[in-house]
Structure formats: C-alpha cells, structure tokens
Amino acid sequence: MSQELVAIVTKFAESGWDVIDAPAKNWLSAKDDAAKLKAATTELIAAVKTADVECGSCGCDMDPLYKQALALLQAA
C-alpha cells in the first residue's frame, strides 16, 4: 500500500464531506486488516466515484485526487 494512497485517503477522511469521509475513515482503520480491507476498499471506490461525479470538476483541490485515488485503489 503506497504512502501516496494513504495520504490521499487521509485528506478524504479529514474533508468533512459525508460522501467520502466515512468510507475513507473506514478504509484507514481497516488498512492493516486484510479481512476488512477488501470490503472497505470496495466501499471507498464507490464513494470516490460518487465524489468524482458530484464534485470532480468544480476546480477544488480534491478534483485531481479522486482520479488519482481510483487509479491507486484499483491497481492495488
């Protein structure tokens, strides 16, 4: 698991936006538990896709992070 991915997901967890913060927090808490990580990753991917659709082109700092996180999560 890359430090880059953990840093991005940490930003999501600190965002306060309910679409991605809870799934990001769940993923961060499960990242060291292989049994929980798969479900948390699936949940996070779905949340990031939703966030990208809803906000992915608004011009905020998070816009490029959605696509970057998806690439990293799907490659893992």
pTM over 0.75: yes
Contact assessment for residue 71 and residue 48, using Cβ atoms and an 8 Å cutoff: no
Task: Give, rounded to a whole angstrom, the gap between the first and last alpha carbons of the chain.
Answer: 7
Q: Which of the four pLDDT bands, split at 50, 70 and 90, describes residue 1?
A: low
Position of tokens 């990001």?
Answer: 24
Which carries the bigger pLDDT value, residue 11 or residue 57? 11
| Per-residue confidence (pLDDT) for residue 73, from 0 to 100 | 92
Query: Average pLDDT of 58-66?
Result: 87
Q: Which of the four pLDDT bands, split at 50, 70 and 90, describes residue 53?
A: very high
Contact assessment for residue 52 and residue 66, using Cβ atoms and an 8 Å cutoff: yes
